[in-house]
């Protein structure tokens, strides 16, 4: 009680000089195979838009954390770094990780914002944490402005599969604003020579957790990661089957150094793996180049790619909706056009 009082008193004092205490963001940094996810680097940049301090948070198993901490400390925009290591955190399930967040964000927490990339693990975790703290959460944020004078943060986020943009305001009555950011809307944080101060956060043991991780199966690929690739070659139902999908798209992806994506139709038909799906219910990408091959351009697919810089579409149907968003459209049979394209690119 005393501590709270003195805090209030100090705040009042500060206010006389200038403004209310600035925002302090906690950025959840995710990593895989010892490398920080590029989407988390975008989250660090997003935190800068709040105009205050930012602390990174790394959690993981004992063999990953030290390495990740070394990288995270050097991220431009992070003032401090917290890390928590536990064998249980190496394949984190929300039921086991949530208590750590709840502890960090309990009463008198210095943090005013908690953010992460809109990744599958953060999407599972943050709303759980928010509910435990009786706080709402904001998903898939594309822009942020914070007003230090009234403690309100305003976000924009796509709704209806990106066909409308909502501007929502989280007032000061929400003491901690939790949100996930759309990585493609923010650039990745750079690395600096200076290193932020890091400190250990004791893990919080969960006795008899109700959920157990059994196994993870990752789709192996030498290609760039879909969500972060600067070029994406994507195929739809017109690819006929899994063999022609591979045979047609791979040579083109290889020569362009592109990641491979797929429409929901192609995924549902079993031509491509689920993790390659681009759209409202799959990945959202915004590469330099997006090539849509044999994709009609349904609303749900456009939601995942329409922020790409250059959209190229090849489709037999001249009326396909994809041509309404494509910068370059070619009405052609993709089984002829794509091999020709590959040949001609090779000759360059």
Part in contact with other proteins (CB under 8 A); list of ranges 52-60, 81-89, 199-207, 248-256 = 248-256
244-251, long-range: CB < 8 A, 24+ apart: 244/335, 245/271, 245/272, 248/293, 248/334, 248/335, 248/338, 248/339, 249/293, 249/338, 251/338, 251/339, 251/342
- Closest C-alpha among 64, 71, 117 to residue 91: 64
295 near other proteins, rule: CB under 8 A: no
Residue 299 marked in a binding site = yes
CB closer to other proteins, 63 vs 340: 340
160 belongs to the binding site for other proteins (CB under 8 A): yes
Q: Is 284 helix (H, G, I), strand (E, B) or coil?
A: coil
Is 192 labelled as part of a ligand binding site? no
Query: Does the footprint of other proteins cover residue 210 (CB under 8 A)?
Result: yes
For the record, the structure tokens of 230 come out as 């600067």
Q: Which is nearer to other proteins, 165 or 190 (CB)?
A: 165
Tokens 């997003």 sit on residue: 46
Contact with other proteins (CB under 8 A) among 3, 5, 107, 346: 346
280 has binding-site annotation? yes
140 part of the interface to other proteins, by CB under 8 A: yes
Looking only at the bridges linking them, the beta strands covering 152-159 and 164-170 are: antiparallel
Question: To 10 degrees, what angle do helices 242-256 and 334-346 make?
Answer: 30
Token match 């402005």: residue? 145
Binding-site member from 150, 288, 317, 333 for other proteins (CB under 8 A):
288
Segment 31-70, which members bind other proteins (CB under 8 A)? 32
Residue 19 CB, shortest distance to other proteins, in Å, is 22
Could you tell me which residues are beta bridge partners of residue 161?
none
Interaction residues for other proteins, span 163-192 (CB under 8 A) = 163-171, 173-174
Q: Does the footprint of other proteins cover residue 266 (CB under 8 A)? A: no
Of 5, 18, 214, 319, which one interacts with other proteins (CB under 8 A)? 214
- Binding window for other proteins (CB under 8 A); candidates: 16-24, 61-69, 77-85, 268-276: 268-276
Residue 6 Cβ vs other proteins, minimum distance, rounded to whole Å = 29
114 marked among binding-site residues: no
Question: In this complex, which beta carbon is closest to other proteins, that of residue 66 or of residue 270?
Answer: 270
Binding to other proteins (CB under 8 A) within 69-128 occurs at: 91, 93-95, 98, 119-121, 123-128
Phi, psi dihedral angles at 88 (to 5 degrees): -70, -20
255 neighbors 346 (Cβ within 8 angstroms): yes
SS3 191: strand
Using the rule CB under 8 A, give the single segment among 5-13, 15-23, 58-66, 339-347 that binds other proteins. 339-347
The C-alpha atoms of residue 157 and residue 164 are separated, in whole angstroms, by: 9
What sign does the dihedral 9-12-14-19 (CA atoms) show? positive
Interaction with other proteins in 298-317: which residues (CB under 8 A)?
Answer: 299-300, 306, 309-312, 314
Residue 330, both tokens: 């070619």
The reply to whether 237 sits in an annotated binding site is: yes
Give CA 61 to chain center in angstroms: 21
Residue 22 CA to residue 26 CA, distance in Å, equals: 13
Using rule CB under 8 A, residue 215 touches other proteins: yes
Nearer to other proteins among residue 53 and residue 264 (C-beta): 264
Q: Is 8 marked as binding a ligand?
A: no
Tally the residues of the chain. 348
The secondary structure element, H or E, covering residue 331 is strand 328-331
327 binds other proteins, rule: CB under 8 A: yes
If one asks whether residue 229 binds other proteins (CB under 8 A), the answer comes out as: no
Of 84, 113, 119, the closest CA to residue 98 belongs to: 84
Please, are residues 108 and 124 in contact by the beta-carbon 8 Å criterion? no
- Residue ranges at the known binding site for FAD: 237, 263-264, 277-281, 294-301, 315
């Amino acid at each position: 009680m005393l501590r709270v009082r003195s805090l209030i008193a100090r705040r009042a004092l500060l206010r006389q000089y200038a403004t209310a205490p600035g925002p302090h963001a906690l950025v959840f940094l995710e990593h895989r195979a010892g490398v920080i996810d590029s989407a988390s680097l975008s989250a660090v940049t997003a935190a800068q838009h709040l105009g205050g301090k930012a602390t990174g948070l790394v959690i993981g198993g004992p063999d990953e954390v030290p390495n990740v901490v070394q990288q995270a400390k050097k991220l431009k925009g992070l003032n401090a770094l917290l890390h928590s290591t536990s064998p249980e955190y190496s394949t984190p399930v929300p039921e086991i990780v949530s208590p750590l967040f709840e502890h960090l964000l309990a009463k008198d927490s210095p943090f005013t914002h908690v953010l992460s990339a809109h990744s599958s693990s953060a999407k599972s975790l943050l709303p759980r944490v928010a509910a435990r703290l009786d706080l709402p959460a904001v998903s898939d944020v594309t822009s942020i402005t914070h007003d230090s004078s009234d403690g309100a943060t305003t976000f924009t986020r796509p709704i209806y599969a990106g066909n409308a943009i909502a501007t929502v305001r989280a007032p000061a009555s929400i003491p901690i604003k939790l949100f996930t950011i759309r990585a493609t809307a923010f650039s990745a944080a750079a690395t600096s020579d200076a290193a932020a101060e890091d400190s250990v956060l004791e893990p919080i043991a969960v006795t008899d957790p109700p959920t157990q991780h059994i196994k993870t199966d990752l789709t192996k690929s030498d290609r760039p990661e879909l969500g972060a690739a600067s070029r994406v070659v994507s195929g739809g139902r017109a690819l006929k089957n899994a063999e022609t999908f591979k045979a047609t798209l791979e040579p083109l992806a290889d020569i362009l150094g592109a990641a491979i994506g797929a429409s929901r139709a192609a995924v549902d038909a079993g031509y491509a793996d689920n993790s390659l799906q681009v759209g409202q219910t799959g990945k959202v990408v915004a590469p330099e180049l997006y090539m849509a091959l044999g994709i009609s351009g349904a609303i749900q697919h456009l939601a995942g790619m329409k922020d790409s810089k250059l959209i190229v579409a090849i489709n037999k149907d001249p009326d396909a909706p994809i041509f309404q968003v494509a910068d370059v459209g070619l009405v052609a049979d993709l089984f002829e056009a794509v091999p020709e394209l590959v040949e001609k690119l090779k000759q360059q």
